């Protein structure tokens, strides 16, 4: 099973691709889709859509794993985050990819063992769990953590 984890944002969208075989994770790819800060909102969203489209074409994921967002202090940021998130989920749905959502607490709990873990702790554990040679960039690490969470809890293991 190929899992694509996405950490959407209005400036940077992190992605992480893993293969889940025999209850174990194998690292495939990770990185960031960076939006041109001078671009219009429409063109930023187009960049996310085209980036997702490329990743889906390249890795043919079975599942999109994405963070579930409940609260947001700033309503304007919530709208912007929602826009990026909507484009990601739409790109996956258009490719008939299953979408699974996990809360931030569950993701941190799964990867670090502590629902209130710091970003650094997530980066460290992602590096360790995927046997990477160096710490992944923060957004890519979050995306890999989201992908790992589906591996551990997703319906294939019958846990969910």
Residues of this chain that interact with its own copies (CB under 8 A) are 40-43, 45-46, 48-49, 64, 69-73, 75-76, 78-87, 89-90, 92-94, 99
Find how far residue 128's CA is from the centre of its chain: 18
In the chain, which residue ranges form alpha helices assigned H by DSSP? Answer: 41-59, 75-94, 104-111, 119-129, 138-153
Distance of alpha carbon 143 from alpha carbon 8, whole angstroms: 9
- CB closer to its own copies, 8 vs 16: 8
Distance of alpha carbon 57 from alpha carbon 67, whole angstroms: 22
| Least distance in angstroms from the C-beta of 98 to its own copies | 8
- CB closer to its own copies, 21 vs 79: 79
- CB closer to its own copies, 32 vs 87: 87
| Least distance in angstroms from the C-beta of 116 to its own copies | 20
């Amino acid at each position: 099973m190929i899992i694509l984890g996405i950490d959407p944002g209005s400036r940077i969208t992190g992605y992480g691709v893993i293969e889940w075989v025999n209850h174990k994770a194998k690292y495939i790819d990770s990185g960031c889709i960076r939006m041109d800060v001078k671009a219009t909102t429409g063109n930023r969203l187009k960049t996310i859509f085209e980036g997702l489209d490329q990743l889906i074409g390249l890795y043919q994921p079975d599942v999109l794993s994405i963070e579930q967002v409940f609260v947001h202090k700033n309503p304007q940021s919530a709208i912007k985050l929602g826009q990026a998130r909507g484009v990601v989920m739409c790109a996956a749905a258009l490719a008939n990819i299953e979408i699974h959502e996990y809360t931030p607490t569950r993701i941190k709990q799964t990867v670090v063992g502590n629902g209130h873990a710091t970003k650094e702790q997530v980066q460290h554990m992602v590096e360790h769990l995927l046997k990477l040679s160096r710490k992944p960039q923060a957004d890519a690490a979050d995306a890999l953590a989201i992908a790992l969470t589906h591996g551990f809890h997703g319906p294939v293991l019958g846990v969910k």
